[in-house]
């Protein structure tokens, strides 16, 4: 029977097997010989089978041909962990496999419970020892036990009697990693290269009636060194198995090309055919005819042509070319995927067919062009992966990908990093996708080694030949890529040369070749260069080729910031041909081995070692292809219609399509306020040529603006008629423009009265009609927020500063270290003061002064003024002043823990999906209805999520009547309302492990940190970062109803320390200070603080206490460097006290070369006896090797080195001078790094006497 997904290891596979020994079977030498790519395997050729009729040929589905049979389905299967345990005689017909398990083909055996799925990003799952794969790994490796698993497959098949006299072939579209093949007990051959078709002529092995076929599949072969792609490593027969036949004289291979004339109107169709005679006698002279049919199956006028095929000797072959002029065919592009069918008829009776797209790819100067028009590639890298079936991807899976790609405005896919299933290329032809077709070549774990090892040239070239030969007839393929992340050595250069020789109609690409004269490929390429570096390349006049970001906008977990900025550059610069996001889909794999705890696994999710953790989840869509919050951002960034506000109800529309008039789309508009849509309209007729732009008057009616009302104009281009990927009315492009923006209107304090009570311990309680607002002296914040006697706050749940987030797993490489080091997760409150000032019957001011103490000298002073009104409204003005290391914060906000029954959520902010400062273009401002549970974005690894930017207001409520409204005051806020705290999510591996929810967690922030893409790419751009600079923000809590926000002046002050020892107080009103609380003076300017002290401050109803401390000496230091990587490796990072940030020399664009220097200005003569250096921790790129240290009094004269040597390879290093010296400047010179990459980096710098 078929095993269910992810069952425990099938014991049936270990049952006694008759007629075979299960031990001491020798390991076949072929699997560890890098020179053996196959034995008796047919040469690579175009994907084809003969058809039994013209109707079959026009249908074009090979598996439906009269001369083809799929051998998918049930196979008998046996699994062992090591080759020596395999049944060596199982291929014999006499061998009894009746007690073996039954496995479905296609499949990966790990997915069905045999052995361990294994996730690696870069690195091998077996012991690295090329070309060997049987060497002993460390004992904690999973491969120590599962040394090289072998799957033995058996089934029977019948050859139809109608195939008598024909040649019979057996084709495997994908077997991972290598296999031996037997038919009827006779050994046919061997193959490795899991991603290209392995085809065998089995004519002499088959017989009438029932036949046996057997495969012995190895998890690892020498070819596995070239299959080190970022994916789950899985094994088995995972693509179609096809039995097919051909006449003795057979068209073995075809190459179909289309050549457009100089006007890109008329075309020349060329069909080059290789004809082979499999017979025992010479063939006769015959004719090869090619007839062109349109999409409706009708012959194109004058669409037939033929060529004579000469007599071919037995066993010989010949090549002929049919040439046909075609008048003005419909052209193929990703926008207009027009396809014809070329039917080939050989005189022997053979009929074949190919889909044909008339298109021409060119590079003119630095511009990539299709059919004479500049074209931008805007798309994603795509792995073949299903969360349920692994690397076996069904046609339905492929179509779902295409549907979502088109809905996201993607026109491009890079087949990362291998040849895909043949059906994928056909679908891309039909749906319209520009493909960068990549070969099955990646030796990341041996980067810079196997790319130049002569013994691997044959393998690398072979895989590139297979990629081209198999798929050269597909219009969707516009670029060939040699592979990925091997290094740019001679083996890849040899492959590029061979590919050019095979196909001169398409450009070539390989990222490791870089850019400039040394790049032999047609296109310059990088990965993960930041926007600034990308713009430098676009403006580099010395470069002569188009530039392509083959990977960018790394989308791991909650990330993919600034994709809009990248695409602004793509649109601006002709030399930038676009890019491919890394990557299209999360590659999670369901682990259901424990039915009570199913989870979508990432690295380590099956107990495999080593692994690369959560790095597998980095898609625009989730593993099931449902959209992540990244999806609307991609859709907006990639949209092919641009909108700009032209004022007075007009918009400027730009058609960014290359081949499509906008008459294909409708143009509609709406006006929305915080209460919903208030007007809609359409532009009755609209036409705009490709590349053109035009101002359109929408004829919007006039509106009377109400105080506190925001109005937004929303514009959309929609499908007029349905496409196969979306219905009519689908919005392909959007724009939003503010007509009028406002927060809640201001007014007078509401009438009424309430009383105030202060307990002996200092607690404060304000009681009014139907409400209570209480403050706790021990915490300095609100302890009760009640209406009708029910407290909405949980114990300890009043608003407190919240500055960190449960890591997005993009934060851990730089920002999160600062959060841990500063102790942001467990700040200890020290209440300096809590005071009430009730100025009238209907208004009371409660001033709170709390100093939160973290680690390493980090603290946060939170001054808050709570203004309470007679209707229970609480206006909260916050001044948050961090002190200590200038670390990057996740947010500047407060957190409240509310009753968990407050589940319903309505808000006026950006939505409906989560958004962040650098990922919000695709999230329009509007009124949205949600739930707290729905706000929890289903990332497989729980993490902070659900943020919404530009909030005007939100309301939370419960079925029992609890209700709380929060309004932004003075400036829009950011918010999240989740069922879990960051602490609940931080250390939890999977969603299934989350605790039972016990709170509604509301966070209101004045500013949030962007998400960036720095798990493998740039950090958030500077404008989206958040350092420890003091900030103020305000919000209003309303217990029900609506109305104005009372006017308030002044408020709590910010406390800012400067490097010169002065401390400044800033606020929005007049500030008074007092040292004893009795004598007050007007604040006149910065204070000189030489020792810790406390000062009383009052401003506009705030009356509180600030704690003042002298600044540390290091705060005044500054750093400069010979070079640095912008937005990532600034030299100031070595002085910020955060070991997660670092200085790094320039690596993008024009890479800086050693020696590198870093100069620290100590600002005054300082005694120096030791230099303390903290190396970069999370990545060893640039880890310092040989160094020199110099000192100077003026920064100009340096003299001789005062220390030199080689730093030890550890995180913390101390350079001891021969004696204590005094200097103002220190220069560290890095002569080389330990990896010899030519870089330099450093996390922290300090000196000691």
Give per-residue pLDDT as tens, 851-870.
Answer: 999 998 899 999 999 999 99
1091 is catalytic: no
Residue 529, CA distances (Å) to 200, 386, 404, 496, 876 in order = 44, 30, 26, 24, 42
Crossing angle (nearest 10°) for helices 422-431 and 395-407: 40
Residue with tokens 């020792």: 1091
Q: Where are the domains of the chain?
A: 11-245, 265-359, 364-585+620-633, 640-742, 755-1048, 1049-1111, 1113-1248
pLDDT of residue 6: 37
Q: Give me the residues paired with residue 151 across strands.
A: 79, 217
Encode pLDDT of 293-327 as tens digits: 999 999 998 878 999 999 999 999 999 999 999 99
* Angstrom distance (rounded) from CA 134 to CA 146: 10
Q: What is the DSSP letter of 386?
A: B
Task: Name residues whose C-beta falls within 8 Å of residue 556's C-beta, 6 or more positions apart in sequence.
Answer: 614, 615, 617, 618, 809, 810, 1013, 1015, 1016
Q: How far is CA 1000 from the centre of its chain?
A: 29
Q: Which residue's structure tokens are 């690696």? A: 120
Judge whether 485 counts as a catalytic residue.
Answer: yes
Sheet with 286-293, strands from edge to edge, namely 299-309, 286-293, 340-346, 351-356
Section 882-892 average pLDDT: 92
**Integer Cα distance of 949 and 942 in angstroms:** 21
Q: What is the mean pLDDT of residues 753-765?
A: 94
pLDDT confidence bin for 24, thresholds 50/70/90 = low
Q: Is the dihedral of CA 1237, 1239, 1244, 1247 positive or negative?
A: positive
Nearest residue to 245 (alpha-carbon basis) of 161, 185, 327: 161
Nearest by Cα to 895 from 1037, 1000, 1035, 800: 800
Across 1175-1211, where does the E strand assignment appear? 1186-1192, 1203-1206
Q: Round to whole Å and give the CA distance between 559 and 1239.
A: 27
Sorting pLDDT into bands at 50, 70 and 90, what band is 1111?
Answer: confident
* The predicted structure's pLDDT at residue 1041: 66
Whole-number pLDDT of residue 1149: 73
The Cβ of residue 386 has, within 10 Å, a number of other Cβ atoms equal to 23
195 or 1048: which carries more pLDDT confidence? 195
Give the chain's mean pLDDT: 94
Q: Residue 5 above 80 pLDDT? A: no
**Which of the residues 30, 551, 1139, 1188 is marked catalytic?**
551
Question: In this predicted model, what pLDDT tens digit does every residue of 1060-1101 receive, in sequence order?
Answer: 778 999 998 899 999 988 999 999 999 988 888 899 999 988
Query: What does the angle CA 467 – CA 471 – CA 472 come to, to the nearest 5 degrees?
Result: 100
Q: Is 915 helix (H, G, I), strand (E, B) or coil?
A: coil
Q: For residue 279, what are the contacts with CB-CB under 8 A and spacing of at least 6? A: 248, 249, 314
β-strand partners of 9? none
Query: Which has the closest alpha carbon to 464: 486, 492, 485, 487?
Result: 492
What Rg do the C-alpha atoms of the chain give, in angstroms? 34
Q: How far apart are CA 681 and CA 360, in angstroms?
A: 41
940-955 mean pLDDT: 97
Q: Please tell me what DSSP assigns to residue 6.
A: T
Q: DSSP letter for 573, please.
A: -
User: What percent of the chain is modeled with pLDDT above 70?
Assistant: 97
CATH superfamily of 265-359: Immunoglobulins (2.60.40.10)
The CATH number of the domain covering residues in 755-1048? 2.70.98.10
Name the CATH superfamily for 11-245: Galactose-binding domain-like (2.60.120.260)
Which of helix, strand or coil describes residue 586?
A: coil
User: In angstroms, rounded to a whole number, what is the distance separating the alpha carbons of residues 1101 and 199?
Assistant: 84
This prediction's pTM = 0.92
672-700 confidence digits (pLDDT tens) = 998 888 999 999 888 999 999 999 999 99
For 75: left if phi > 0, alpha if psi spans -120 to 50, otherwise beta; the answer is: beta
Residue-level pLDDT at 89: 95
How is residue 485 written in tokens? 């992340």
Spell 431-449 as b/e; 16+ CB within 10 A means b. bbbbbbbbbbbbbbbbbeb
pLDDT band per the 50, 70, 90 thresholds, residue 622: very high
**Which candidate, 880, 887, 884, places its Cα nearest to that of 1030?**
880
- Residue whose entry in the numeric block shows the structure tokens 């007049």: 1070
CATH number of 1113-1248, picked from 3.40.50.720, 1.10.580.10, 2.60.120.260, 1.10.1060.10: 2.60.120.260
Dig out the tokens for 210 from the structure: 């029932």
The CB-based long-range contact list for 1058-1063 (8 Å cut-off, 24+ gap) reads 1058/1086, 1058/1111, 1059/1111, 1059/1115, 1059/1116, 1059/1163, 1060/1116, 1061/1088, 1061/1089, 1061/1090, 1061/1110, 1061/1111, 1062/1086, 1062/1087, 1062/1088, 1062/1089, 1063/1087, 1063/1088, 1063/1089, 1063/1108
CATH of 1049-1111, one of 3.30.70, 2.60.40, 2.60.420, 2.60.120: 2.60.40
Average pLDDT of the segment spanning 265-273: 98
- Spatial CB neighbours of 204, under 8 Å, sequence gap ≥ 6: none
Q: Is the dihedral of CA 47, 52, 58, 61 positive or negative?
A: negative
Return phi, psi of residue 537, to 5°. Answer: -65, -40
Task: Find the mean pLDDT for residues 943-962.
Answer: 96
Fold of 640-742: Immunoglobulin-like (2.60.40)
Q: Are 50 and 146 in contact (CB under 8 A)?
A: no
Question: Is the confidence at residue 104, as pLDDT, over 70?
Answer: yes
CATH topology of domain 364-585+620-633: TIM Barrel (3.20.20)
Q: In what order do the strands lie in the sheet with 764-768?
A: 755-758, 764-768, 771-776, 781-787, 790-791
- Given 3-state DSSP classes, what are the helix, strand and coil percentages for the chain, each rounded to the nearest 5? 15, 40, 45
- Pick from 99, 217, 251, 88: nearest CA to 149: 217
Average pLDDT over residues 925-937: 97
Mean pLDDT in residue range 877-889: 93
Residue showing tokens 């006499």: 94
Determine the 3-state secondary structure of 194 from DSSP.
Answer: coil
Q: Check if 640-742 and 1113-1248 are the same fold.
A: no
Structure tokens that stand for 350 in this block: 């053979």
Q: What does the angle CA 917 – CA 657 – CA 1011 come to, to the nearest 5 degrees?
A: 15
**Residue 246: per-residue pLDDT:** 98
pLDDT in tens, 653-677: 999 999 999 999 999 999 999 888 8
CA distance 680 to 18: 77
Model confidence at 12: pLDDT above 60: no
- Residue 580: pLDDT band (50, 70, 90) is very high
By C-alpha distance, which of 1137, 937, 1141 is closest to 1025?
Answer: 1141
Contact (CB, 8 A) for 309 and 347: yes
Q: Of residues 426, 485, 496, 949, which has the active-site annotation?
A: 485
Tokens for 1029, please give them: 């600079």
């Amino acid at each position: 029977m078929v095993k269910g997904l992810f069952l425990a290891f099938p014991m049936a596979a270990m049952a006694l097997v008759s007629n075979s020994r299960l031990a001491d079977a020798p390991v076949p030498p072929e699997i560890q010989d890098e020179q053996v790519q196959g034995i008796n395997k047919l040469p690579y050729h175009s994907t084809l089978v003969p058809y039994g009729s013209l109707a079959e040929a026009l249908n074009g589905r090979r598996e439906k041909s009269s001369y083809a049979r799929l051998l998918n389905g049930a196979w008998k299967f046996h699994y062992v962990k090591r080759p020596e345990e395999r049944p060596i005689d199982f291929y014999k017909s006499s061998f009894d496999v009746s007690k073996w398990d039954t496995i479905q083909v296609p499949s990966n055996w790990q997915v069905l419970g045999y052995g361990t799925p294994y996730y690696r990003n870069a690195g091998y799952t077996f012991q690295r020892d090329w070309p060997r794969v049987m060497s002993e790994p460390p004992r904690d490796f999973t491969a120590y036990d599962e040394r090289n698993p072998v799957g033995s497959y058996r089934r029977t098949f019948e050859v139809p009697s109608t195939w008598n006299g024909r040649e019979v072939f057996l084709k495997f579209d994908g077997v991972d990693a290598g296999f031996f093949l037997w038919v009827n007990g006779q050994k046919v051959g061997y193959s490795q290269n899991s991603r290209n078709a392995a085809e065998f002529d089995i004519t002499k092995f088959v017989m009438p009636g029932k036949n046996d076929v057997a495969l012995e599949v190895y998890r690892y072969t020498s070819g596995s060194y070239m299959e080190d792609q970022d994916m789950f490593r899985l094994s088995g027969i995972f693509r179609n198995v096809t039995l097919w036949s051909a006449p003795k004289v057979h068209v073995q291979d075809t190459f179909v090309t289309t050549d457009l004339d100089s006007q890109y109107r008329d075309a020349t169709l060329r069909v080059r055919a290789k004809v082979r005679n499999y017979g025992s006698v010479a063939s006769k002279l015959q004719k090869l005819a090619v007839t062109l049919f349109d999409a409706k199956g009708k012959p194109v006028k004058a669409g037939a042509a033929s060529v004579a095929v000469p007599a071919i000797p037995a066993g010989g072959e010949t090549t002929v070319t049919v040439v046909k002029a075609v008048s003005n065919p419909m052209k193929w592009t990703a926008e207009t995927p027009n396809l014809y069918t070329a039917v080939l008829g050989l005189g022997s009776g053979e009929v074949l067919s190919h889909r044909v797209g008339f298109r021409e790819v060119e590079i003119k100067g630095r511009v990539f062009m299709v059919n004479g028009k500049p074209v931008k590639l805007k798309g994603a890298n795509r792995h073949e992966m299903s969360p349920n079936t692994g690397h076996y991807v069904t046609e339905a899976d492929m179509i779902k990908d295409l549907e979502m790609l088109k809905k996201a405005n993607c026109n491009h896919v890079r087949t990362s990093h291998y040849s895909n299933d043949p059906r994928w290329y056909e679908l891309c032809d039909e749906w319209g996708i520009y493909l960068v077709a990549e070969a099955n070549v990646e030796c990341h774990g041996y980067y810079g080694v196997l790319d130049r090892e002569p013994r691997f040239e044959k393998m690398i070239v072979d895989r590139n030949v297979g990629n081209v030969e198999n798929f050269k007839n597909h219009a969707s393929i516009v670029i060939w890529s040699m592979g990925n992340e091997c290094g740019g050595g001679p083996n890849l250069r040899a492959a590029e040369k061979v590919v050019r020789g095979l196909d001169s109609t398409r450009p070539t690409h390989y990222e490791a070749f870089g850019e400039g004269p040394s790049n032999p490929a047609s296109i310059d390429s990088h990965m993960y260069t930041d926007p600034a570096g990308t713009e430098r390349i676009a403006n580099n006049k010395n470069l002569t080729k188009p530039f392509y970001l083959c990977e960018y906008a790394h989308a791991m977990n909650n990330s993919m910031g600034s994709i809009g900025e990248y695409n602004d550059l793509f649109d601006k610069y002709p030399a930038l041909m676009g890019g491919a996001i890394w990557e299209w889909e999360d590659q999670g794999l369901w682990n259901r081995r424990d039915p009570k705890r199913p989870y979508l696994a990432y690295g380590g999710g099956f107990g495999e070692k080593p692994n690369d953790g959560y790095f597998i989840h980095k898609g625009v869509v989730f593993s099931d292809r449902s959209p992540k919050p990244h999806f609307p951002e991609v859709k907006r960034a990639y949209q092919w219609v641009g909108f700009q506000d032209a004022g007075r109800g007009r918009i400027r529309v730009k058609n960014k399509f290359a081949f499509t008039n906008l008459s294909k789309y409708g143009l509609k508009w709406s006006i929305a306020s915080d209460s919903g849509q208030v007007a809609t309209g359409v532009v009755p007729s609209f036409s705009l040529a490709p590349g053109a732009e035009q101002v359109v008057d929408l004829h919007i009616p006039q509106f009377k603006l109400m105080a506190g009302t925001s109005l937004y104009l929303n514009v959309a281009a929609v499908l007029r008629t349905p496409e196969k990927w979306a219905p009519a009315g689908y919005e392909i492009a959007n724009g939003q423009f503010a007509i009028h923006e406002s927060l809640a209107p201001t007014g007078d304090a509401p009438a009424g009265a309430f009383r105030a009570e202060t307990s002996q311990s200092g607690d404060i309680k304000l009681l009014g009609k139907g409400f209570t607002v209480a403050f706790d002296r021990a915490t300095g914040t609100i302890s009760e927020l009640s209406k009708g006697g029910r407290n909405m706050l949980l114990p300890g749940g009043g608003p407190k500063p919240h500055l960190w987030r449960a890591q997005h797993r993009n934060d851990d490489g730089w920002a999160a270290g600062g959060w841990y080091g500063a102790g942001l997760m467990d700040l200890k409150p020290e209440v300096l003061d809590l005071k009430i000032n009730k100025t009238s019957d209907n208004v009371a001011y409660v001033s709170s002064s709390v100093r939160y103490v973290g680690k390493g000298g980090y603290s946060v002073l939170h001054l808050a003024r709570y203004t309470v009104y007679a209707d229970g409204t609480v206006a909260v003005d916050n001044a948050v002043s961090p002190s200590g290391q200038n670390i990057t914060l996740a947010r500047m906000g407060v957190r409240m823990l509310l009753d968990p029954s407050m589940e319903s959520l309505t808000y006026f902010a950006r939505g409906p999906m989560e958004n962040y400062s650098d990922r919000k273009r695709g999230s329009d401002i509007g009124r949205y209805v949600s739930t707290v549970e729905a706000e929890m974005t289903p990332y497989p690894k729980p993490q902070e999520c659900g943020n919404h930017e530009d909030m005007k207001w939100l309301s939370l409520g419960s079925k029992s009547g609890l209700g709380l409204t929060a309004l932004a005051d003075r400036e829009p806020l950011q918010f999240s309302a989740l069922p879990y705290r960051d602490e609940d999510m931080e250390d939890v591996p999977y969603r299934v492990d989350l605790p039972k929810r016990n709170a509604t967690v509301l966070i209101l922030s004045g500013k949030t940190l962007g998400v960036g893409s720095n798990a493998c790419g740039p950090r958030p751009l500077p404008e989206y970062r958040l350092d420890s600079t003091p900030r103020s923000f305000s919000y209003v809590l309303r217990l029900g109803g609506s109305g104005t926000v009372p006017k308030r002046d002044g408020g709590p002050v910010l406390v800012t320390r400067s490097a010169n020892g002065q401390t400044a107080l800033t606020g929005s009103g007049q500030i008074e200070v007092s040292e004893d609380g009795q004598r007050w003076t007007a604040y006149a300017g910065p204070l000189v603080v030489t020792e810790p002290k406390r000062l009383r401050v009052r401003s506009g109803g705030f009356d509180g206490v600030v704690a003042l401390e002298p600044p540390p000496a290091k705060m005044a230091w500054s750093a400069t460097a010979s070079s640095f990587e912008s937005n990532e490796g600034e030299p100031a990072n070595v002085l910020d006290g955060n070991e997660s940030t670092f200085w790094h020399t320039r690596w993008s664009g024009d890479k800086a070369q050693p020696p590198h220097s870093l100069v620290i200005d100590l600002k005054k003569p300082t005694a120096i006896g030791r230099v303390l250096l903290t190396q970069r921790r999370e990545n060893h790129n640039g880890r310092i090797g040989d160094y020199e240290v110099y000192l100077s009094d003026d920064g100009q004269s340096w003299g001789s080195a005062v220390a030199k040597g080689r730093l030890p390879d550890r995180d913390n290093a101390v350079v001891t001078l021969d004696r204590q010296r005094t200097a103002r400047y220190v220069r560290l010179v890095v002569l080389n790094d330990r990896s010899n990459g030519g870089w330099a980096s450093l996390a922290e710098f300090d000196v000691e006497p």
